Each structure stands twice: as structure tokens, then as C-alpha cells.
């Protein structure tokens, strides 16, 4: 399944692979790689509220801002939550970014290997105005039982998400 013109990138329409994730549905599984080179799946954080902050590339200004804003917002929630920034960047680039920017709470996951997050969550650029694959900027919250409680596909990929709404949804999901 593809979703033509699902979002725009610098005003250009982008087709996304996969179905859009909806609030109330069971969260789709995925297999990404942490910056410690370990495989991470949805089940690895069962029992916690989870925030998935999806960015096109960690090294761009808006993606950096998004990761750092969520880092600041979630620090007070502690062990009740698991929070991830997901991109197609290599685990090495993600680790370098986190070290340089002091990001410690947000875990980075690379979807570079098989794009399972991108495909299963409906955020993978299928047709892009760029010669590279990216993930569409989006934010998802999943409750401890595995149900999606918040889903935001940012209409213009170069814009920032609604941080307040996402963090409030995470707090509610965490209890």
C-alpha cells in the first residue's frame, strides 16, 4: 500500500509506503538498531509508555531541535517511559550526534537496515523529490499495553511537530 501525496517536503508532494497508523490500533512491530549496535523491537519496551519521534535525518536543524526538545520534556518522566528518535541515519551517526549534543534520555534507533519501522508505521518515503530515502517527520505514543494513543504525521516534513500534544499524550499513557 502507498499513500500518494501523504506529506510534502519543501512543498513537493511525497508518497509514503504503508498504511497510516491510527489512534486505537495495536502498534506495529519493527526491528531497528540502537547506537550500541543491538537489535530493538517494539517488545523490548513492553510495559512502558513509549514515544517514537521520527525524523528525516538527525543532522539537520529541525531534526536536531525535535530530538533535543523531546529530550528536555521527558527527563522528568524517568523510568515510566521509553523514548526513541528514529531515522535512516546510521547508528554511528546517531551515536556521534547524541554525544555531541548531550542527548542521554532519548534513545536513537536506526531503521537503515530494512526500513521495517518506516514501512510498518507508514513513514517511509516511497517517492521522494530527493535522491535518497528518508522517513517522514512524525510522532507516535504507545501505551504500556501496546495501543497507539497519539499519532501525528507532520504535513510539511520540514516543520516541527506539536511537542505539547505529544508530551501530554505520553504523560497520560504513562499514568
pLDDT of 147 reads 97
Rounded to an integer, what distance in angstroms lies between the CA atom of residue 87 and that of residue 89?
5
In this prediction, residue 129 carries a pLDDT of 77
Tell me which residues of the chain have a pLDDT lower than 70: none
Give pLDDT, residue 131: 81
Can you give the residue range of the structural domain that contains 116? 2-174
The predicted pLDDT at position 76 comes to 83
Q: Which ranges constitute the DSSP H helices of 15-56?
A: none
Q: What is the dihedral of CA 96, 42, 60, 7, to 10 degrees?
A: 170
Asked if residue 138 lies in contact with residue 123, where contact means CB atoms within 8 angstroms, the answer is yes
What CATH number should be reported for the domain holding residue 48?
3.40.30.10
> What local confidence, expressed as pLDDT, does residue 33 receive?
97
pLDDT for the residue numbered 17: 96
Q: Give how far the C-alpha of residue 45 lies from the chain's centroid of Cα atoms, to the nearest Å.
A: 15
Q: Which residues belong to the active site? A: 63
Residues in the chain: 175
Looking at residue 78, what is its pLDDT?
A: 85
The residue behind cell 521522494 is: 128
Task: Look at the chain and report how many structural domains it folds into.
Answer: 1
Amino acid at each position: 500500500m502507498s499513500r500518494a501525496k501523504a506529506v510534502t517536503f519543501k512543498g513537493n508532494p511525497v508518497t509514503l509506503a504503508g498504511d497510516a497508523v491510527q489512534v486505537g490500533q495495536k502498534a506495529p512491530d519493527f526491528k531497528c538498531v540502537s547506537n550500541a549496535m543491538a537489535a530493538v523491537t517494539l517488545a523490548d519496551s513492553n510495559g512502558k509508555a513509549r514515544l517514537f519521534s521520527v525524523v528525516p535525518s538527525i543532522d539537520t536543524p529541525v531534526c536536531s531541535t525535535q530530538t533535543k526538545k523531546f529530550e528536555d520534556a521527558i527527563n522528568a518522566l524517568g523510568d515510566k517511559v521509553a523514548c526513541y528518535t528514529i531515522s535512516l541515519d546510521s547508528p554511528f551517526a546517531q551515536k556521534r550526534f547524541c554525544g555531541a549534543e548531550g542527548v542521554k534520555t532519548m534513545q536513537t534507533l536506526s531503521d537503515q537496515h530494512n526500513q521495517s519501522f518506516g514501512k510498518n508505521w507508514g513513514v517511509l518515503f516511497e517517492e521522494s523529490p530527493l535522491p535518497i530515502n528518508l522517513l517522514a517527520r512524525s510522532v507516535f505514543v504507545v501505551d504500556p499495553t501496546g495501543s497507539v494513543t497519539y499519532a501525528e504525521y507532520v504535513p510539511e516534513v520540514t516543520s516541527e511537530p506539536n511537542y505539547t500534544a505529544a508530551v501530554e499524550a505520553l504523560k497520560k499513557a504513562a499514568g
